[in-house]
Amino acid sequence: MKKQCLSAISLTTLCISAFLFSCNPAAEKNSSDVVKTDSSSYTATIEGKSVLLYTLKNKQGASVSITNYGGRVVSLLVPDKNNKLTDVVLGYDSVGAYRKKGEPFFGALIGRYGNRIAKGKFELEGKEYQLQLNDGVNTLHGGNDGFFSKVWDAKQTDAQHLELMYTSKDGEAGYPGKLDVKVIYTLTDDNALKIDYMATTDKVTVVNLTNHAYFNLNGEGNSTILDHELYIDANAYTPVDSTLIPTGKLQPVAGTAFDFTTAKTIGKNIEDKDQQLTYGKGYDHNFALNEHDDNKVIAKVKSTVTGIIMEIYTSEPGLQFYSGNFLTGKDKDGKGGKSYPHRSAICLETQHFPDAPNHTNFASTVLKPGDVYKTTTTYKFLK
């Protein structure tokens, strides 16, 4: 579409465009004919950088809103069995709420290293590195200075693509090397949210990027996910110690509460007497995915309430299944003043294995200068 002078566009055209791209009255067009949702509650200046909310929308009416603070997915509206748009991710009504202490990484991009590293230590090329400890004696999701707390540079290239970029300095949170990261969110016309991750470094380092969306396919704010049916294409998982660090073993799921190779409700075995479930206070474990490529469904979740089905595709070898065990619901600070109680959401984080730098039998997470870290994960919604 050719660029037009504002004065040459009729009022009728402006109104139609606003309706087609966003139902938010604050939506506005920029000079590249790209619609940017600029809600005042998500507009801020943090560490001298502008924070805005960006909305992608497809031809089916589905939409996803993302803030460049932490690259967080704030809302994800997909049609249910009655074609009613349903928000299936937990979040907050303002960017300030995402900055509060103890916030559980709602919707965030996670890096440099998703999941846990034991005692925040690893060795590369004979040198030991000490990371920030933010999960008891361990490092979780990159430490206190993880990517979830950073303002990313954002560029919405069209109505269905958002590019986010961030440069992590050498030594940030204890990690070696300057890491240049690019993440592209794409909302496809078949109701899939595709996330492409890319990174390069100037020094040998470790990288493990993921997204930490909390899903409830009954609709965010619903009280439970125990009725969701879950399938995971994994014959083994990585058992953990009492601090949720993998022991290094691969444990077969057959005959255990961790067998989701045939779909079952999440609540079916979650209260079984199993030391692993006690350690995680439910499911909070990495599943070793069976051989696959990014065209194969590696996990599927279904709500029998809304009929919404979520399929997951990834090029990653692992999937962290977390059943929302640490949500409390004591504060009504969710979107629209909603409470998010215990086990009212699930996270399905595609990843390399937790603590991989300290386990030679796990797939390597080392990135070297000249190499490109590249991985893709897709969450596709059906009804």
- Per the structure, the complete domain to which residue 102 belongs is given by 25-222+330-382
32 has a pLDDT exceeding 70? no
Catalytic residue status for 292:
no
pLDDT at 34: 25
- Under DSSP, the state recorded for 189 is T
Instruction: Specify if 312 maps to a domain.
Output: no
Q: What is the pLDDT of residue 230?
A: 98
pLDDT band at 331 (very low <50, low <70, confident <90, very high): confident
pLDDT confidence of residue 39: 75
- Which among 268, 274, 282, 286 is positioned nearest to 342, based on CA atoms? 282
**pLDDT at 30 (0 to 100):** 34
Burial of 64 (0-12, 13-18, 19+ CB in 10 A): buried
pLDDT at 13 over 70: no
Q: How confident is the model at residue 114 (pLDDT cuts 50, 70, 90)?
A: very high
Distance (Å, whole) CA 220 – CA 91? 8
First to last CA, the chain: 34
In a domain, 373, yes or no: yes
Residue 181 · residue 195 · CB < 8 Å: no
CA distance 144 to 132: 7
Q: In 3-state terms, what secondary structure has residue 333?
A: coil
Q: Measured in whole angstroms, how far is the alpha carbon of residue 83 from the centre of its chain?
A: 25
Residues in a beta bridge with 201 = 179
Would the pLDDT of 35 be above 60? no
The question of whether 128 is a catalytic residue gets the answer no
Kind of pairing between the strands at 85-87 and 72-79: antiparallel
Lowest-pLDDT choice from 14-28, 158-172, 321-335:
14-28
Residue 28 has pLDDT above 50, yes or no: no
Do the domain assignments include residue 161? yes
* Count of domains forming the chain: 1
Residue 38 pLDDT level (bands cut at 50, 70, 90): very low
Task: Tell whether 10 is covered by a domain.
Answer: no
The answer to whether residue 304 sits within a structural domain is no
Of the listed 141, 172, 212, 311, which one is catalytic? 212
How does pLDDT run across 119-171, given as a tens digit for each residue? 999 999 999 999 999 999 999 999 999 999 999 999 999 999 999 999 999 99
Q: Is residue 265 part of a domain?
A: no
What global pTM score does this model have?
0.89
- Residue 351, domain member (yes or no): yes
The CATH number assigned to the domain holding 118 equals: 2.70.98.10
Q: What is the pLDDT of residue 330?
A: 87
In a domain, 68, yes or no: yes
Q: For residues 112 and 104, what is the distance between their CA atoms, to the nearest angstrom?
A: 17
Considering the candidates 172, 311, 316, 349, report the single residue annotated as catalytic: 349
275-297 pLDDT, tens digit per residue, is: 999 999 999 999 999 999 999 99
Quick one: average pLDDT of 18-41?
40
